[in-house]
Amino acid sequence: MAGQRQPVGHAGTSTSWHRPVSTADADTYGSSSTLSAETATGSYVLTVADYSGDKELDAAGWALPSNKFTAGGCSWRITYSHDHEDWIRFWLCLEEPPVAGGTDLDDAMVRTMYSLVDQAGQPVPSSLRKETERALSTMKSMRYTQFMKRKRFESYYLKDNRFSVRCNVTLVRRTCRLSGVMAPPDLRRHLGELLASGVGADVTLEVGGEAFAAHSSVLAARSAVFQAELFGGPPDKEDASVTTRHVRIHDIEPSVFRALLHFIYTDSLPEIDAGDETVMARRLLVAAQRYGLEGLKWICEDVLCTLCPRRAAKQLSLCS
């Protein structure tokens, strides 16, 4: 359309990306998916300064293209004309694909909306015309929008032989990301097996004549008391060449300490004989407070309140 007369136009000053997201519910260990839609909106205002003159040109078979403008990373052009059925119509055509480095829009859809603009630059609500959503891949071929009957337009909207129309272009890209099947967590089981095997243990804890092999990093991560004891000061010169440290722990029974270690590694308690539950819970509660294990403390308090609620209040007050 070289050499053709072009109406005046200007592009919108802002284009923004929005990301409304909705997530599908999933079972704890089931499959899940995330549905999302990205939208980018840009606008262009086309001004026809000589409506009657342009109408005569159009009657001679001329169509009036706008300058190129950008919306959503794509380059567009609007063409204005009249048809033989007395409709004012517009074409929106994709001039260039998304710019290099922009968002991948191969599967994007395009929404188009036209509206007349008043002298204050605001859209005229009664003139709004929305187009059906189309695939971006089809926008290189021109497809006209029958905007308004010419008689109605000239009677109610045309002023001083000129008008402006705004074209809003919105690109929509929908995605569905499947996260697959979520495997049940097995960290507790692995750490429990590590404790039982003693592989890689670097500290031996001596409790009441029994030795427990453990890993200083695990103990320090779970208990601030163990962290201070194992890493709080400079190593002894005598132990500098020794790969495994020895720590003696007093005032705790081996069976209680064994349950304590089990909790540190697995966040759970081992099987305890039915008749020993109350006694073990009391002693573990004292150990939990000693090593700052709030989770273990909560479990012991719950066991005591369940098994012997009357005596639990006295026991908890002595431990606090």
Which of 86, 89, 92, 108 has its CA nearest to residue 167? Answer: 92
Give 287 or 8, the one with higher predicted confidence. 287
- 18-22, 26-30, 49-53: least confident range: 18-22
> Of 50-59, 81-90, 113-122, which has the strongest mean pLDDT?
113-122
CB–CB of 87/148 below 8 Å? Answer: yes
Residue % of the chain over a pLDDT of 90: 31
- CATH fold, domain 187-319, is Potassium Channel Kv1.1; Chain A (3.30.710)
Instruction: Specify the pLDDT at position 211.
Output: 96
Model confidence pLDDT, tens digit, residues 295-320: 898 888 887 877 665 554 445 444 55
Give the C-alpha separation, 302 to 266, whole Å: 18
Average pLDDT, the chain: 78
Q: How confident is the model at residue 79 (pLDDT cuts 50, 70, 90)?
A: confident
Residue ranges per domain, the chain?
A: 8-22+32-180, 187-319
Where residue 208 falls (left for φ over 0; alpha for ψ -120 to 50; beta otherwise) is left
Model confidence pLDDT, tens digit, residues 101-140: 445 566 788 889 999 999 888 889 999 888 888 888 787 7
Model confidence pLDDT, tens digit, residues 157-202: 999 999 999 999 888 877 666 555 556 678 889 999 999 999 999 9
Instruction: Specify the pLDDT at position 15.
Output: 30
Statement: the pTM of the whole predicted model exceeds 0.85 = no
Q: How confident is the model at residue 17 (pLDDT cuts 50, 70, 90)?
A: very low
Q: Residue 73 pLDDT > 90, yes or no?
A: no
Give 234 or 108, the one with higher predicted confidence. 108
Task: Give the long-range contacts of residues 32-36, CB within 8 A, separation 24 or more.
Answer: 32/178, 32/179, 32/182, 33/176, 33/177, 33/178, 33/179, 34/176, 34/177, 34/179, 35/174, 35/175, 35/176, 36/174, 36/175, 36/176, 36/177
User: HSE on the CB side for 250, CA within 13 Å?
Assistant: 0
Give the C-alpha separation, 315 to 286, whole Å: 10
Q: What is the CATH number of domain 8-22+32-180?
A: 2.60.210.10
Q: Do domains 8-22+32-180 and 187-319 have the same CATH topology?
A: no
